[in-house]
A and B are shown apart, each in its own frame.
Chain A
Amino acid sequence: MTEIKHHLTDALLMGYAAGTLPEAFNLVVATHISMCDDCRAALAEFEAVGGEVMMTSESAEMAEDSLTATLDKIANAPSAPKVRPRTSGLFPTPLQDYVNGDLDAVKWRKIGGGVSQAVLPTSKGATVRLLHIPAGTAVPDHGHRGTELTLVLQGAFVDETDRFAAGDVEVANEDLNHTPVAEAGMDCICLAATDAPLKFNGLMPRIVQRFVGI
């Protein structure tokens, strides 16, 4: 893996540590952290903050038979949790769990301009999809009503801000209008999450949007 240049923001790491992000964002964060040691270390720090907040705050009185009840639970369900096997393939384990397999298990749907997508099942509040952008192809010029996270899994794309290669994550908000273009050479595969529909700046993409649900 080449060196990762674009990382998660503090707000996203803190939200993931606190457990307050929508599920779709959690998936992008967990997948990026699987690929990025810097963000893994930063997450450990935000979790430590959570632990200290919990430890230095109030405590609530437990029920009288609480310890006994807990020991009963332990006695009745003693099986150790299974450790997931290390992944082989393109997708890190958290993403494989949502795809039910690796790249060859993805059910792609064409959304125009050569681009294909596969929406992954998550709870409401935000959506997450895999995008397949053929080498040299542009995703239509668009802006964002909310936040859009785009994690590159294979290949690379370039937009008005920078170049994003495998492992890089772009965090876009309302301020950014961009036209991501997949680099020549290798098709680009991304995992993208949004908490609001994208705003396409051309008429045709807007019409297409109604049908494909981006």
Chain B
Amino acid sequence: MLTVAKDSAKADAAVALGRYGPEKACHSGVVRTKRLKKTDPAKRMMWVAHVVAIRDSEDREAFAELFAHFAPRVKSFLMKSGASPDMAEECAQDVMATLWRKAAMFDPAKASVGTWIFTIARNRRIDILRKERRPEPEELPWGPEAEPDQAEALVLQEETQKLGAALAELPEKQRTLIEKAYFGDLSHSEIAAETGLPLGTIKSRIRLALERLRHVMK
């Protein structure tokens, strides 16, 4: 993953892995989870199996477990994007309800459950907070396969796992900007205005972060 470097910038093989910076202060009403909690591929495959169980047999227990794990993170994501706690609660419920309804469209050879939920939450945020349409790419003609290859799915889950670990190991300054870019509903220039950092610095830190991720994923 992350091998399609358009600008052909190759990560410096000698880049030392960053240390973890000081933990940020907790937002009120938000519980900080352990930064480096490992979610191993087996656990990721379990989430995949849960989605399949919802698709095949409307398994409520599987849904309850997915809900307990993912819904609080979706809610936090929406709150950090500017939603009020009530609105974030409502939207997080909608996102999880969408997961149930679209379970048949999930393809574990293309995305982890976390990635898929992120895209549902992102679209819901655009819908609710920005009141905009969200143009989506055309579905590939072959679509998700009826029974995706387990081996392919496992490879994808392992790669996403590696990506998560690499992200956690980014230097604090770079990781913070990546988080802002995804969480804040901010463009790079808006991040510049918010942080007081020059736009060039923000762009180069994000580029460095992506190079490191690509280097690890090679």
Contact = CB atoms under 8 A, between A and B. Distances in A.
Interface in A36-50: 38-45, 47-50
A137 to B, nearest CB: 28
Contacts, number: 227
Given A26-B135, A49-B167, A59 B179 contact: no
Interface string A25-42: 011011101100011111
Contact of A51 (B29, B114, B143): B114
Contacts of B4: 38-39, 41-42, 45
B67 A60 contact: no
B161 to A, nearest CB: 9
A71 interface: yes
B53 interface: no
Interface stretch (B12-20, B97-105, B145-153): B97-105
Contact of B160 (A48, A57, A58, A80): A48
Contacts of A93: 138-139
B177 to A, nearest CB: 11
Q: Chain B: interface residue count, which band? A: 35 or more
18 contacts: A20-B187, A30-B135, A44-B110, A44-B111, A47-B111, A48-B1, A56-B35, A56-B168, A58-B33, A59-B76, A66-B71, A69-B93, A73-B93, A80-B101, A86-B141, A94-B137, A94-B138, A122-B133
Interface string A68-85: 011101100111110110
A113 interface: no
A144 B125 CA distance: 30
Given A30-B135, A61-B29, A52 B64 contact: no
A204 interface: no
Interface residues of A, number: 69
Interface in B116-171: 116-119, 121-123, 125-126, 130-141, 143, 159-160, 163-164, 167-168
Contacts of A63: 89
A174 interface: no
Interface in B180-198: 181-183, 185-188
